[in-house]
Structure 1
Amino acid sequence: MKKMFLIFAYFFVCFCCLTGVFGDKVKSVSVMEGDRVYLTLNTDVKLQRDDLIVWSFGPEGIRIAEVNKEANKISIHVFDGRFRDRLQLNDRTGDLIITNITTNHTGLYQMDIRGNIVTSYRFNVTVYAHLPAPVITSNSSQCSSSSPSNCSLLCSVMNVRDVSLSWYKGNSLLSIISVSDLNIRLSLPLEVEYQDNNTYRCVLNNTITNQTQHLNITQLCQTCSDTTGVINSVYLLS
């Protein structure tokens, strides 16, 4: 029994040495899109002169680039138009550089080093679009009476994904809504008193950046008496 165990252990170690695949570890990378933005996926490994480095993309493992150290050759494969004229390879390290990166380059990247052993590195890349500024509007159809009723507000953004939209009162979080998939319109309501002197702000954010819109209660929340005063002023000026 002990002999069989040793034989099994021997073959298992040999198999690990031959494959050397570290597929369980995935490095997450986040970046903003932009014309001048580039992303470097690196592994900090030292390549041997007979190594073959293969980069693939997506769950299907589409080959996009490779370095053949033995043949001293770099190849870029453009089977997917999103990578056309955007990929560069470092022939010394095998690092992959993506230039002019956009949200279309979000996905899983894998680097396989095929030499005496096969080692794999995986990168889960998320590319975020620039965020628009949220818009605050009054949800009230008409002015309110002088009674202590609330002013209904709505903070909205269009065509965003992987974001959170929040209302803050000072530094305190009041409410939050999040979305992962592309959303045509994302809205978050808020009710405040007409004479509220607190500061409110609506914040749109992802894991990298944010956009903030401050609430002007005087401008968006007017009582009927406020509106009448404005109209009377206009008549007096006339």
Structure 2
Amino acid sequence: LHTSLVLCLWTLIGVFGDEVKSVSVMEGHSVTLHTHLTHTHDVIQWRFGVNGPLIASIRRSVNNPTYYNNDKTEIFRDRLKMDSKTGDLTITDVTSQHSGLYQLLTVTSSQDITKIFSLTVNTHTAVSISESTQTPSSSSESSEVHLTRQQSFHSLYKVVMTCVVGFLMTGAVVFIIWINRKSRKTHGQGTQHHCK
């Protein structure tokens, strides 16, 4: 029971331990995911999705970024630039296909650090629809309101998903405790029958 509870809590910490940094960009523009690294790292890796395909990496010994092109990373072909000093990743000419989570892994001799970025790509059509219903003086306000609503929805989605995962993990812990108690009772009853 104790081991099961510790494993469940450890999983929860793993799921919620990394802060997710939200970044928003207009379709067709460039966006840079900043590492904010303060010291030299042996290896820096970027993945599209948590534990997804590797899209870029750099090793201090080589000091030149490597970009990975395969079926899973085709959408990034000729669009990635990685700063060899900071590890910052720039995606150029962004499309809606680039929306999603990006995982940054930094490795030093003493520790590995993982950061998660959530990239939201806003389309021009969404903004132009709201602008067309406004007067010229209020069109920029409308764009800001639309983007704020999208960001609010994205934040709400993250909160809801966090609650759902937390609820499921709590349910799993309760289920494990119930199974453990049931097996103890069954085992205890079997022992009592043998004594008679």
Q: TM-score range with shorter-chain normalisation? A: 0.5 to 0.7
Alpha-carbon offset, residue 78 of structure 1: 1.8
Q: Which has the higher helix share?
A: 2
Conservation of the 8 A alpha-carbon contact between 1:47 and 1:92: no
Could you tell me how far apart the structure 1 residues matched to 2:21 and 2:107 are? 20
In the alignment, structure 1 residue 41 sits paired with structure 2 residue 37:
no
Matched, 1:206 2:112: no
The alpha carbon displacement at 1:106 in A equals 0.2
How many residues align? The count is 122
> Over aligned residues, Cα RMSD in angstroms?
3.0
Contact 2:34–2:89 (CA under 8 A) maintained in structure 1 = yes
> 1:61, CA displacement in angstroms?
1.5
CA distance in 2, matches of 1:24, 1:95: 18
CA contact (8 A) 1:31 1:208 kept: no
What are the superposed Cα offsets for residues 13-47 of structure 1, whole Å, 9 maximum, x if unpaired? xxxxxxxxx9521101111112xx11010121134
- Alignment deviations for residues 203-233 of structure 1 (CA, whole Å, 9 cap, x no partner): 78632599xxxxxxxxxxxxxxxxxxxxxxx
| Runs of at least 5 residues in structure 1 that lack an aligned partner in the other structure | 1-21, 137-154, 156-202, 211-238
Confirm or deny: 8 A CA contact 2:18 2:114 kept in the other structure. no
The Cα shift of 1:58 comes to: 1.6
Query: Residue 111 of structure 1 is aligned with which of 104, 119, 123?
Result: 104
Choose the corresponding residue for 2:60, options 69, 72, 87.
69
SS of equivalent residue, structure 1 residue 104:
helix
Task: State the SS of the aligned residue for 1:67.
Answer: strand
Please, which runs of 5 or more residues in structure 2 have no aligned partner? 1-15, 134-141, 151-196
Q: In structure 2, how many angstroms separate the alpha carbons of the residues matched to 1:24 and 1:209?
A: 25
The code of the aligned residue for 1:53 comes to I
In 2, the alpha carbon distance for the partners of 1:46 and 1:67 equals 16
Q: Is 1:128 aligned to residue 156 of structure 2? A: no
2:47 is the counterpart of 1:56: yes
Question: For 2:80, which of 78, 87, 91 is the aligned residue?
Answer: 87
Percent of pairs with identical residues? 38
Conserved 8 A contact 2:25-2:122 = yes
Offset at residue 70 of structure 1 (A) = 1.8
For residues 103 and 37 of structure 2, the distance between their equivalents in structure 1, rounded to whole angstroms, comes to: 14
Q: Deviations over 1:179-226 (max 9, x none)?
A: xxxxxxxxxxxxxxxxxxxxxxxx78632599xxxxxxxxxxxxxxxx
Residue aligning to 1:177:
none
The structure with the largest strand share of the pair is 1
Measure the CA separation in 1 of the matches of 2:84 and 2:63: 8
Q: 2:25 maps to what in 1? A: 31
SS at match of 2:87: coil
- Does the CA contact (< 8 Å) of 1:111 and 1:121 recur in 2? yes
Partners of 1:65 and 1:47 in 2: CA distance: 19
Bigger relative contact order (CA 8 A; separation at least 6): 2
TM (normalized to structure 1)? Answer: 0.46
SS in 2 for 1:206: helix
CA, structure 1 residues 97+105, in 2 after alignment: closer, same or farther (shift >3 Å)?
same
SS of residue paired to 1:207: helix
Residue 102 (structure 1) aligns with: 95
Q: Is the 8 A contact 1:54 1:112 kept in 2?
A: yes
Partners of 1:114 and 1:121 in 2: how far apart? 12
